Amino acid sequence: MKPVRVALLGCGTVGEGVVKLMRRNAALLERKLGVPLELAGVADRSLRPSAALGLTAKLITRDAAALVVRPDVDIVVELFGGREPARALILKALAAGKDVVTANKALLAEHGEQIFAAAAKAGMAIGFEASVGGGVPIIRTLREALAGDRQRAVYGIVNGTCNSILTMMTEQGAEFSQALAEAQRMGLAEANPALDIEGHDAAHKLCLLVTLAFGALLKPPQVHTEGISHITQADIAYARELGFTIKLLAIAKDDDGAIEARVHPTMIPTRHLLAGVAGAFNAIYIHGEALGSTMYFGLGAGQMPTATAVMADVLEIARARSAGAGARGHALGYPMASMTRARVKPMDDVLCEYYLRFEARDKPGVLGAIASVLGRGGISIASVIQQGRGMEGTVPVIMRTHEARERNLKRALARIRRLDTVSGTPAFIRIEERL
Ligand SMILES: NC(=O)c1ccc[n+]([C@@H]2O[C@H](COP(=O)([O-])OP(=O)(O)OC[C@H]3O[C@@H](n4cnc5c(N)ncnc54)[C@H](OP(=O)(O)O)[C@@H]3O)[C@@H](O)[C@H]2O)c1
């Protein structure tokens, strides 16, 4: 009955949740494992002993580097966040024969290749269920449940901050800045929200989803990334009129080996399941060749949802350890040797339908001039909305295009911008109608 012993790096939001689950569910976990699961130590720079959490002074250390190589530690759970020292500590733990669990999507997106290769070389496990979708078990699903199928497309609402802001804009008519301030007040957005609202957090998660879905390594700079700060209440209202809802989607498609990887605000049909995913919830919608479409939904962040995902990895590893299983599975669902580097389709080559919004002078022939530039660029118009007068003699002109290549669209918009009958920069949002 040798216990499995866990070292925790970081007892902040998620780390505290892990301690609570290990304490609260100790008997249940022991029943599931057949052996006790014990906390060997907690490294954190500001943690104090806590009777409520069962954290004695003896368990707490400031010396994370010493903790991760201690002989009585089996599994290291990294919840410091950030790049360093998290990366160095994970590598040190793996080299010392410890299995590792982490929730650190930014680190894995940027240094995953090194970390996964080190785990494979050491024959150790690396669990990262909590790094995408918080409590939504998407990593395991892609790696195991869907392993027999070929994935064709992944669409994720994977950033709760952006989804909360867009939900407030849609349901309460708030402008972006008001919705962001409200999200910050409610603790749904960081004081410095750039990583979330500019789409970078979603891009980190998309890198991991692409690797699991397509067996191809991808780094954040390869992902076309746009945030939501330019979305206006007008766009939300016109989207509604056209039957769409705006979501920040992380999209990956496998076009026979060329991979589309993009994060941007997207108009999707309001009747689609993803459009109903509101507030801090996350959802990942996957299209598999044999299975068809499935969707995975739940809370994408927060103490207990994320800690639950961390514990899923801890339990899987502890089961393997207590069963005496030596070799670990492939963390990414592919051996590193058969992993390819993603061949990413340039954004200019991507085909999409588009929503376009222009501020046009209220003069005859304006619509014709815009349509003519689009036509010359090979972009055909599916529908037009032109409404009453706007500010200072301009009228908003809304168009929906048929499928067009991004390169042609960008060229046409640059030409339209130079028309003296159009003021300001034309706005465009990509549409995914057939997801
Ligand atoms: N929060 C979520 O809902 C969520 C969801 C999914 C994934 N994650 C990921 O989970 C990880 C942890 O997130 P979190 O929200 O729990 O972060 P957090 O609340 O900031 O907790 C991190 C803890 O680690 C400590 N720490 C950080 N670096 C340290 C160092 N070098 N030495 C000693 N202590 C150190 C921090 O101390 P100080 O407070 O003194 O800095 C803090 O107590 C991150 O990778 C995050 O991306 C979080």
Return the CATH number at 390.
3.30.70.260
| 90 Cβ inside 6 Å of ligand 1 | no
Give the CATH number for residue 175: 3.30.360.10
To test the ligand 1 pocket, which listed residue (18, 45, 188) has its Cβ within 8 A of the most ligand atoms?
45
Quick one: pLDDT at residue 56? 97
Q: What pLDDT does residue 330 have?
A: 87
- 181-188 long-range contacts (CB < 8 A, ≥24 apart) are 188/160, 188/161, 188/164, 188/279, 188/280
**Per residue of the chain (435 residues), what is the pLDDT tens digit?**
799 999 999 999 999 999 999 999 999 999 999 999 999 999 999 999 999 999 999 999 999 999 999 999 999 999 999 999 999 999 999 999 999 999 999 999 999 999 999 999 999 999 999 999 999 999 999 999 999 999 999 999 999 999 999 999 999 999 999 999 999 999 999 989 999 999 999 999 999 999 999 999 999 999 999 999 999 999 999 999 999 999 999 999 999 889 999 999 999 999 999 999 999 999 999 999 999 999 999 999 999 999 999 999 999 999 998 888 776 778 999 999 999 999 999 999 999 999 999 999 888 888 999 999 999 999 999 999 987 665 667 899 999 999 999 999 999 999 999 999 999 899 999 999 999
Preceding amide of 85 cis, omega within 30: yes
Which tokens in the block code for residue 224? 């076309």
**Domain finish residue from 272, 299, 326:** 299
Q: Could you tell me if 211 and 282 lie in one domain?
A: yes
For residue 10, how far is its CA from the centre of ligand 1 (angstroms)? 6
User: CB-side exposure of 201: number of CA atoms within 13 Å?
Assistant: 28
Question: What does the pLDDT read at residue 322?
Answer: 84
Same-domain pairing of 192 and 272: yes
Final residue of a domain: which of 269, 299, 329?
299
What Rg, from alpha-carbon coordinates, does the chain have?
24
Tally of domains within the chain: 3
Question: Do residue 120 and residue 179 come from a single domain?
Answer: no
pTM: predicted TM-score of the whole model, two decimal places: 0.96
Domain residues for the domain of 162 are 138-299
Q: Quick one: 318 and 185 in the same domain?
A: no
Same domain, 53 and 68: yes
Pocket test for ligand 1, best of 8, 68, 79 (most atoms within 8 A of CB): 79
Q: Which amino acid is at 110?
A: E
Structure tokens at 227: 């945030």
154 and 295, same domain (yes or no): yes
Same domain, 142 and 287: yes
Question: Is ligand 1 within 6 A of the CB of residue 46?
Answer: yes
- Taking the centre of ligand 1 as the mean of its atom positions, its distance from the CA of residue 87, in whole angstroms, is 14
Same domain membership, residue 289 and residue 153: yes
The residue count of the chain comes to 435
Are 206 and 127 found together in one domain? no
Indicate which atom in ligand 1 lies nearest the CA of residue 62. 33
pLDDT given at position 389: 62
| Residue 190 and residue 62 share a domain | no
Cβ atoms of residues 210 and 221 within 8 Å: no
Q: Whose CA is nearest to atom 8 of ligand 1?
A: 103
Residue whose Cα lies nearest atom 9 of ligand 1: it is 103
Check pocket membership of 15 for ligand 1, CB cut-off 6 A. Answer: yes
Residue nearest to atom 42 of ligand 1 (CA): 12
Domain boundary among 319, 341, 363: 341
Report the half-sphere exposure of 281 (CA within 13 A, side-chain side).
14
Shared domain for 168 and 81, answered yes or no, is: no
Residues labelled as active-site residues: 205
Residue with CA closest to ligand 1 atom 27: 80
135 lines ligand 1 (CB under 6 A): no
- Determine the pLDDT at residue 252: 98
Nearest CA to ligand 1 atom 44: 81
CATH number at 104 reads 3.40.50.720
88 Cα to the center of ligand 1, angstroms: 16
Centroid of ligand 1 to alpha carbon of 202 (angstroms): 18
Taking residue 383's Cβ as centre, other Cβ atoms within 10 Å add up to 11
Shared domain for 261 and 388, answered yes or no, is: no
Q: Which of 60, 77, 80 to mutate to test the pocket of ligand 1 (most atoms within 8 A of CB)?
A: 80
